[in-house]
């Protein structure tokens, strides 16, 4: 490994940050129901406390994404939540509106044909923008469930125009240093057409809405054979990559632990980002966020496992010899070019990461260190008792 590679690895360790989501610490499930864990977070205080544990043991998870419907309430000001985050050593990250759970959204939210429902959805977005300002969040991340289930059910072109019109008020409400991130998804809950079904649709809508709008790539929101790193490369080149929701999947949008199924794909995505940085001379400032449903894994352990995996794959990608790779690409030396990636992917960067942890006075192995802390057993006992008091049972759907 040459000196330039070593410098890139060290820089990657210093630069890498990944955001945890509040919903990853709470009880979640599937459309069939949810299964409770004693240590799962019950309220926003628990969620931020748990996120603080992840950051304390890893050292690179300083922000937490919040969900408007699940995390904010009328009796707790948004500014108080931001202060609560500071108490636990984290800051507020992306604000996520909810445009899919209310009964009025049966036939869509921003793309609904009913003027009053569209107005209600826009009002919710503007409230989300205000929450972002009050918590100091730079991002409003939108996942749109709108779509239709049968041919002929919807005027697809009308809905596209409606989407642009309803997003523009949000764009105008944001400050110059805030952004809208537009997520996309090929299907579910709609199974005939989804209004933001792929990166191209998200890109086009973002361009029409305004310059503070970017594309959010969820690694689970693609067809099985999709070349996600190509999408990332194109969005980088057009300055439209707004951020990531990291997870993994076996079949569709399974929200599995990042890197648990295809770590090489995650590595290839990170490689495109590092390669772009090497070519342009500046590291892209990209919000990396986790979006997973830990149905049966212990919540905090799964989040630590994800974060550590993401860090390792990011560092591996930084180890690619870009100078050599570029020469092989120019000469169309396919085998040698591929070997540049394989050499970095199979390299053991863990000793370097351990050194970095030593330098920053962090646990040398975050997962065992967390287990030894006794935090999970302590909060499990306390939260189990609170669930009994609150009358929380195992019934319920994904939340």
pLDDT in tens, 43-61: 999 999 999 999 999 999 9
CA separation for the pair 198, 185 (Å, rounded): 6
Please indicate, yes or no, if residue 252 is contained in any of the structural domains.
Answer: yes
Please indicate, yes or no, if residue 304 is contained in any of the structural domains.
Answer: yes
Tell me if 54 sits within 8 A of 307, measured CB to CB: yes
For residue 39, the domain's CATH number is 3.20.20.150
Q: Burial, 76: exposed, middle or buried (Cβ in 10 Å; 0-12, 13-18, 19+)? A: middle
CA separation for the pair 67, 111 (Å, rounded): 21
Please indicate, yes or no, if residue 49 is contained in any of the structural domains.
Answer: yes
CA separation for the pair 267, 274 (Å, rounded): 10
Lowest mean pLDDT, pick from 25-34, 215-224, 284-293, 298-307: 25-34
* pLDDT of 267 strictly over 50: yes
The pLDDT value recorded for residue 392 is: 82
105-148: pLDDT as tens digits: 999 999 999 999 999 999 999 999 999 999 999 999 999 999 99
The pLDDT value recorded for residue 395 is: 43
218-230: pLDDT as tens digits: 999 999 999 999 9
Q: What is the CA radius of gyration of the chain?
A: 21
The pLDDT value recorded for residue 33 is: 80
Please indicate, yes or no, if residue 393 is contained in any of the structural domains.
Answer: no
The pLDDT value recorded for residue 237 is: 97
pLDDT mean over 81-86 = 97
The pLDDT value recorded for residue 396 is: 39
Strands of the chain, DSSP E: 20-21, 29-30, 33-34, 63-67, 91-96, 139-142, 147-148, 179-183, 193-194, 213-218, 241-246, 288-290
Mean pLDDT, the chain, whole residue set:
95
Cα-based distances in Å from 348 to 36, 268, 273, 351: 37, 16, 20, 7
Q: Can you tell me which residue has the tokens 């409230």?
A: 127
Domain hosting 358: range is 3-388
Please indicate, yes or no, if residue 399 is contained in any of the structural domains.
Answer: no
Do the bridges between strand 139-142 and strand 179-183 make them parallel or antiparallel, or are there none, so unpaired?
A: parallel
Closest CA to 398 of 20, 19, 26: 26
The pLDDT value recorded for residue 399 is: 40
325-352: pLDDT as tens digits: 999 999 999 999 999 999 999 999 999 9
Please indicate, yes or no, if residue 396 is contained in any of the structural domains.
Answer: no
Count the neighbouring beta carbons within 10 Å of the beta carbon of residue 33: 11
Tell me how many domains the chain contains. 1
Tell me if 302 sits within 8 A of 292, measured CB to CB: yes
Please indicate, yes or no, if residue 331 is contained in any of the structural domains.
Answer: yes
* pLDDT of 398 strictly over 50: no
The pLDDT value recorded for residue 277 is: 96
pTM: 0.95
Question: pLDDT confidence of 5, banded at 50, 70, 90?
Answer: confident
Question: pLDDT confidence of 394, banded at 50, 70, 90?
Answer: low
Please indicate, yes or no, if residue 167 is contained in any of the structural domains.
Answer: yes
pLDDT mean over 176-193 = 96
The answer to whether the bond into 189 is cis (omega within 30° of 0) is: yes
The pLDDT value recorded for residue 102 is: 95
Spatial CB neighbours of 247, under 8 Å, sequence gap ≥ 6: 218, 219, 220, 254, 255, 256, 257, 258, 290, 291, 292
> What's CA 199's distance to the chain center, in Å?
16
């Amino acid at each position: 490994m040459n000196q330039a590679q070593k410098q890139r690895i060290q820089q990657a360790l210093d630069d890498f940050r990944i955001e945890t989501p509040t919903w990853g610490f709470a009880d979640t499930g599937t459309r069939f129901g949810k299964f409770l864990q004693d240590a799962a977070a019950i309220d926003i205080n628990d969620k931020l406390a748990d996120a603080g544990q992840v950051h304390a043991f890893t050292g690179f998870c300083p922000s937490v994404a919040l969900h408007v419907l699940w995390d904010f309430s009328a009796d707790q000001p948004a500014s108080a939540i931001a202060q609560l985050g500071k108490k636990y050593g984290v800051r507020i990250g992306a604000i996520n509106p909810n445009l899919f759970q209310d009964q009025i959204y049966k036939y869509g939210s921003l793309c609904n044909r009913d003027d009053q429902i569209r107005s209600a959805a826009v009002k919710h977005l503007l409230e989300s923008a205000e929450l972002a300002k009050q918590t100091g969040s730079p991002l409003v991340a939108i996942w749109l469930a709108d779509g239709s289930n049968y041919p002929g059910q919807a005027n697809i072109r009308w809905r596209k125009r409606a989407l642009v019109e309803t997003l523009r008020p949000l764009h105008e409400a944001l400050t110059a240093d805030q952004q809208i991130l537009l997520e996309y998804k090929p299907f579910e809950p709609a199974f005939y057409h989804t209004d933001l079904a792929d990166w191209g649709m998200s890109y086009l809508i973002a361009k029409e809405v305004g310059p503070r709008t970017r594309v959010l790539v969820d690694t689970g929101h693609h067809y099985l054979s999709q070349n996600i790193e190509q999408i990332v490369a194109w969005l980088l080149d057009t300055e439209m990559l707004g951020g990531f929701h990291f997870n993994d999947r076996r079949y569709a949008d399974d929200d599995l632990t990042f890197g648990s199924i295809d770590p090489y794909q995650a590595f290839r995505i990170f490689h495109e980002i590092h390669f772009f940085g090497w070519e342009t001379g500046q590291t892209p400032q990209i919000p990396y966020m986790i979006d997973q449903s830990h149905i049966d894994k212990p919540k905090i352990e799964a989040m630590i496992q994800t974060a550590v995996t993401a860090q390792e794959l990011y560092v591996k990608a930084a180890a690619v010899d870009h100078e050599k790779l570029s020469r092989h690409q120019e000469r169309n030396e396919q085998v040698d070019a591929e070997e540049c990636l394989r050499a970095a992917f199979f390299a053991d960067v863990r000793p370097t990461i351990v050194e970095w942890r030593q330098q920053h006075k962090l646990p040398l192995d975050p997962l065992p260190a967390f287990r030894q802390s006794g935090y999970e057993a302590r909060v499990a006992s306390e939260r189990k008792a609170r669930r009994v008091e609150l009358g929380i049972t195992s019934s319920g759907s994904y939340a």
